[in-house]
Structure 1
Amino acid sequence: MFPIRDHNPSGRTPFVTFTLIAVNVIVFLSYWLTLPGEVALGRFFLTWGLVPARIGFGDGYETFVTSMFLHGGWMHLAGNMLFLFIFGDNLEDEMGHLRFALFYLLSGLAAAGLQFAAEPASMIPMVGASGAIAGVMGGYLLLFPKAKVDVLFIFIVFFRILPIPAWIMLGLWFGFQVINGAMAPADVGGVAYWAHAGGFVAGLVLALPLWLRRGGPAFWSRTQGAPPHPEVAYPLVRTRVPRIRRGGGPGPWG
């Protein structure tokens, strides 16, 4: 399952979300298009990515921050920015610009901290905004559990876009991170699952005071668990692939 959009446009321009996306893209292009090869790229990640073993020796604390703005490839960058674009605007709208920026940074720091605690001897550099964005997803889950999210569901050759409540999509995503983190250490799988899980939990905790100030369960009752804006309805697009009827030629367009 892969989220492609939600049905909840923000009520004001999400300047911080757009700025974070722009900074991540600019930073990525600044080294991806200029470093001469994989060896140079690896050295760059060892210097500016978060290497748990290096932190254990008391060095590289700045990489708790710098690692949040690095990505290992185009798909890594695109996936993270899509998630931030989908879930960041509503959270920024509810928190305000400055609080959301601080929330994002603290979520990323918490994510990196848990990854370090889970793999303190690892020499693999951790890079990516995934931990901070997981925090955004955790906060989104708490504030807007029933918001509709369109998910691209792929099973072998079958695929379909399904609108599902955010709590299902985000709950399943979090469960996968915990399960995979327990079964596939970073040294084997190459994915910082515990950073994802840590960022998600941090986002829930950091969003809790705002949720309580809004009334807690009463906030859910007022908003039906969705952002307090009119929902967008995306019309179903009819496919142009002809249906083949049994024993006959092409049928009507579906």
Structure 2
Amino acid sequence: MSGGGWCGRGDRPRTFPKRKPVICYDSPAAASVSHALYDDLRHRALLGETILKLEVPKKSARTWEMKKGDLCRITVTQGSQVGDVNFWNLQNRNERFYSGKTRQLHSTHLTVYDRLWSCLPYLRPMATVVADSLKKYGIDEDGASIHDVIGTRCDDYTYKLITGKDRSGSCHTYLTEAVKKLGMSETDVHDVWNIFMCTGFSKDTHKYFVKASPAVKGDYIEFIADMDLLVAMSTCPQGDVSIPVGQEVPDDKCHPLGVEVFRASDEN
């Protein structure tokens, strides 16, 4: 065979026809909720009793339980801080949060009336967002938004991949330590809902990017439990996530988050 090998032989400039984007899961009924119903559930829960109030200290994780119908409010109590949240069915921990399917059924970023879905073969709503103090942020000029289900929890394995250094101090580590107290293991920790985190994909390369979270003291997000839940949340050691993983994060960029759970009383 004369003149070079197979690779590249016959290459010609190629053009591609323009196609219209098609939403893969276009508003399935199960992904939609009655706004009036969930507004009422929220109202009744907030008029009921506070059954849990805790602080998740910076660079740590905590777990808590919720009954179906309970409302959870997570609040920025000091400085800007993101949280990584895991969910399990309280009675069956094999049923857990499925970030990928949640992303397909709703969006890359969740806000009011979006739902959080469980893994296969269950595929059921675990919780529904009912309030979000940052909902008006929308999608900014760079395509970024808040409360994503596209990024994963930070972890020490990827940190070593990037830096070549060993470390013990990540959302994965904190969540693992928290669930071990309940007889669970590292393999029970799964992809998370990144609350208060501002993220997107770059327009030129489609690389995942982060921005400093716009959340400030007093910002909050609330969700109603659609089943009995075990919830775990870490306070990310990246703080407001304005610094890329692998670079040093000053300790004063990290803060706690507050958790409250409300339950409707029989009277309201």
- Fold in common (TM above 0.5): no
Work out which structure has the larger RCO, using CA pairs closer than 8 Å and 6 or more positions apart in sequence: 2
TM range (shorter): under 0.3
TM-score (norm 1): 0.24
- The TM-score with structure 2 as length reference comes to 0.23
